[in-house]
Chains A and B, each alone.
Chain A
Amino acid sequence: DAKTTQPNSMESNEEEPVHLPCNHSTISGTDYIHWYRQLPSQGPEYVIHGLTSNVNNRMASLAIAEDRKSSTLILHRATLRDAAVYYCIAHGGFKTIFGAGTRLFVKA
């Protein structure tokens, strides 16, 4: 599994877009990029995943660099409920290695 690097924390204003970056320079060609988030006092929950192409779902968008060495999770309009720790994971198997993630603060 590839090591990922994320900023420790980020801050956003409510209803503004948020771009959460992740570097995974050692990713292999078959490793998927996953994002999970963990709300306070809860277990992590799946957000989105992708391999090469950009992906959209009801929660977020995932933009993957052409060389796949980095990706960005995009929350189109941050709400107070999006305040959480966001984990970027690059792996190909069923074992998931979580780093420290990015703690997102959302200001009203």
Chain B
Amino acid sequence: NAGVTQTPKFRVLKTGQSMTLLCAQDMNHEYMYWYRQDPGMGLRLIHYSVGEGTTAKGEVPDGYNVSRLKKQNFLLGLESAAPSQTSVYFCASSALYEGWVVIRNYNEQFFGPGTRLTVL
């Protein structure tokens, strides 16, 4: 059981280049998330998904696109990288708890090891 894995671990891009970050989870979780973390700051939610084929915007979605074609994978794309996108990117997943639409339930998130991206 690998949990949440992220590919690649490190990447250096030039301004204007594109790339895709891959997140995979083997826990059959419904929810998946992409965060970015800048130096000395907490995590900020970029996009998230509540199930296969669905995605939604988080706090800082501009400049990113996502896709969830398979339940176990969540892809984060940068179409035209900018230096402001230099950051560490974390993927996370969490389970769907029965009855969450009735009462707000807790939702433990499992995080991947992160991808360190530098845009020059």
Do A and B assemble together? yes
- A interface residue numbers (CB < 8 A to B): 30-32, 34, 36, 41-46, 49, 51, 87, 91-101
Chain B residues within an 8 Å CB radius of A94? 31, 48, 50, 94, 100, 107
Q: Is A46 in contact with B109, judged by CB distance below 8 angstroms?
A: yes
Given A44-B111, A45-B111, answer yes or no on A97-B59 (Cβ-Cβ < 8 Å): yes
User: Would B40 and A30 count as touching, CB distance under 8 A?
Assistant: no
| A96-B107, A96-B109, A97-B59 known; A43+B42 contact, CB < 8 A | no
User: Cβ of B108 and Cβ of A30 under 8 Å apart?
Assistant: no
Kindly provide the distance from the CB of A16 to the nearest chain B CB, expressed in whole angstroms. 26
Residues in B with CB closer than 8 Å to A98 are 35, 42-44
The complex places the Cα of A46 from the Cα of B107 at a distance, in Å, of: 10
Give the distance in Å from the alpha carbon of A50 to the alpha carbon of B28 in the complex: 24
Among residues 9 to 51 in chain B, which have CB atoms less than 8 Å away from a CB atom of chain A? 31, 33, 35, 40-45, 48, 50
Q: With contacts A31-B104, A32-B105 known, is A97 near B45, CB below 8 A?
A: yes
Please name 28 pairs of A and B residues whose Cβ atoms are closer than 8 Å in the assembled complex, sorted by A. Answer: A30-B103, A30-B104, A31-B104, A32-B104, A34-B106, A42-B113, A42-B114, A43-B4, A43-B114, A44-B111, A45-B111, A46-B108, A46-B109, A49-B108, A51-B106, A91-B104, A93-B104, A93-B107, A94-B48, A94-B107, A95-B33, A95-B45, A95-B58, A96-B45, A98-B35, A98-B43, A100-B41, A100-B42
